[in-house]
């Protein structure tokens, strides 16, 4: 299956699953009523899933606000808003001052969704990172980042798809998500920060052992309720809790040729991306 047939998020996420979709999606059940993307991030997964209803969730408020803004909006209006910021701050791949002014304006004045997105487009690696006060703090993406024609097209395609699927956007820590309505027709996909890994969305308060423990217990609870789940992770990170827990379920090795047995032998600094499922 070709990658191009999937929609790619215009949000650049470390750990985004776009490149793995061709391996992950065929492992999902075919008959999904409600699909929950519990750690939705850039929404690369949920936006490409066939289901009657899709629930996106993420703890990062500006990202959720941005996605809500795309849903039900007019594409020309939001592109015009992005273009207005690009013009106002004279944003280019070279104009660091303009970028810093926009960042200051976003942090100190109005935190509008499209201002946030425009900021990301010109930030270093388009990454999302906030300091302890909640201020966006990525440096300028000098010579590399801009709202270029390819990104604009990605944005348009993503917007179109979001407005075709039946989707809601929630902003709840996964610990407080209400799973009570889910049953065996539904499916929960989890792509949490990987324990012991480094990612910008993982810096403030981080992903601790407590989070990991809680998530694994939520998945056990879903399993007992007969709700299907899939958990993404990478076995290269030191994670004794997951190591023990995973053996109760089915482990699918991604990234080509890994099998359970060559994982035991191989150099553990190499990627061992897995999808752990209860079906």
Ligand X SMILES: C[S@@+](CC[C@H](N)C(=O)[O-])C[C@H]1O[C@@H](n2cnc3c(N)ncnc32)[C@H](O)[C@@H]1O
Residue 89 vs 236, nearer CB to ligand X = 236
Residue 86 vs 276, nearer CB to ligand X = 276
Which of 165, 170, 215 shows the shortest CA–CA distance to 191? 215
Residue 61 vs 97, nearer CB to ligand X = 61
Task: Report which DSSP code applies to 169.
Answer: E
Retrieve residue 21's tokens. Answer: 């979709």
Residue 57 vs 91, nearer CB to ligand X = 57
C-alpha to C-alpha distance for 57 and 233, rounded to whole angstroms: 18
Longest distance between any two alpha carbons in the chain, whole Å = 57
Query: How near is the Cβ of 236 to ligand X at its closest, in Å?
Result: 15
Residue whose beta carbon is closest to ligand X: 41
Which of 220, 176, 216 shows the shortest CA–CA distance to 192? 216
Contact call for residues 201 and 127 (beta carbons, < 8 A) = no
DSSP H/E element including 27: none
> Among the candidate windows 41-49, 99-107, 144-152, 233-241, which touches ligand X by CB under 6 A?
41-49
DSSP characters over 173-212: -GGG---TT--TT-EEEE-PPPTT---GGGSSS---HHHH
Out of 56, 192, 218, 242, point to the residue binding ligand X (CB under 6 A): 192
Q: Using CB under 6 A as the criterion, what x/- string covers residues 107-146 for binding ligand X?
A: ----------------------------------------
Which of 160, 164, 167, 123 shows the shortest CA–CA distance to 145? 123
Which of 169, 4, 150, 189 shows the shortest CA–CA distance to 70? 169
CA distances from 98 to 124, 140, 229 (A): 14, 10, 45
Work out the burial of residue 180: count CB atoms within 10 Å of its CB; fewer than 13 is exposed, 13-18 middle, 19 or more buried: exposed
Out of 17, 103, 115, 129, point to the residue binding ligand X (CB under 6 A): 17
Query: How near is the Cβ of 195 to ligand X at its closest, in Å?
Result: 11
Contact call for residues 169 and 36 (beta carbons, < 8 A) = no
Out of 36, 49, 55, 59, point to the residue binding ligand X (CB under 6 A): 59
Q: Which residues of 41-116 form beta strands (DSSP E)?
A: 53-57
Residue 44 vs 277, nearer CB to ligand X = 44
Out of 201, 229, 245, 258, point to the residue binding ligand X (CB under 6 A): 201
Query: How near is the Cβ of 93 to ligand X at its closest, in Å?
Result: 24
Residue 102 vs 231, nearer CB to ligand X = 231
> Among the candidate windows 88-96, 191-199, 239-247, 256-264, which touches ligand X by CB under 6 A?
191-199
> Among the candidate windows 7-15, 101-109, 233-241, 244-252, which touches ligand X by CB under 6 A?
7-15
By CB under 6 A, is residue 9 in contact with ligand X?
yes
> Among the candidate windows 34-42, 77-85, 104-112, 156-164, which touches ligand X by CB under 6 A?
34-42
**Footprint on this chain of ligand X (rule: CB under 6 A):** 9, 13, 15-17, 39, 41-45, 58-60, 173-174, 191-193, 201, 211
């Amino acid at each position: 299956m070709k990658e191009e047939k999937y929609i790619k998020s215009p949000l650049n996420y470390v750990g985004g699953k776009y490149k793995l979709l061709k391996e992950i999606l065929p492992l999902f059940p075919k008959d999904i009523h409600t699909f929950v993307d519990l750690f939705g991030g850039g929404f690369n997964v949920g936006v490409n899933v066939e289901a009657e209803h899709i629930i996106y969730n993420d703890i990062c408020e500006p990202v959720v606000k941005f996605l809500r803004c795309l849903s039900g909006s007019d594409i020309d209006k939001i592109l015009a808003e992005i273009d207005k910021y690009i013009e106002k701050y004279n944003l280019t791949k070279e104009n660091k001052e303009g970028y810093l002014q926009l960042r200051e304006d976003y942090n100190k004045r109005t935190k509008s969704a499209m201002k946030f997105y425009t900021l990301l487009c010109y930030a270093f690696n388009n990454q999302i990172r906030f300091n302890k006060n909640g201020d966006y703090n990525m440096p300028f993406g000098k010579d590399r980042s801009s709202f270029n024609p390819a990104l604009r097209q990605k944005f348009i395609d993503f917007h179109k798809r979001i407005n075709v699927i039946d989707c809601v956007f929630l902003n709840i820590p996964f610990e407080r998500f209400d799973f009570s309505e889910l049953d065996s027709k539904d499916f929960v996909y989890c792509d949490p920060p990987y324990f012991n890994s480094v990612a910008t969305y993982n810096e403030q308060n981080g992903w601790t052992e407590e989070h990991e423990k809680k998530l694994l217990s939520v998945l056990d609870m879903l399993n007992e309720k007969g709700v299907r789940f899939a958990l993404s992770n990478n076995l290269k990170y030191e994670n004794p809790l997951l190591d023990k827990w995973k053996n109760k379920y089915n482990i699918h090795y991604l990234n080509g040729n890994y099998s359970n047995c060559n994982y035991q032998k191989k150099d553990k600094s190499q990627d061992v991306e897995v999808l752990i499922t209860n079906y």
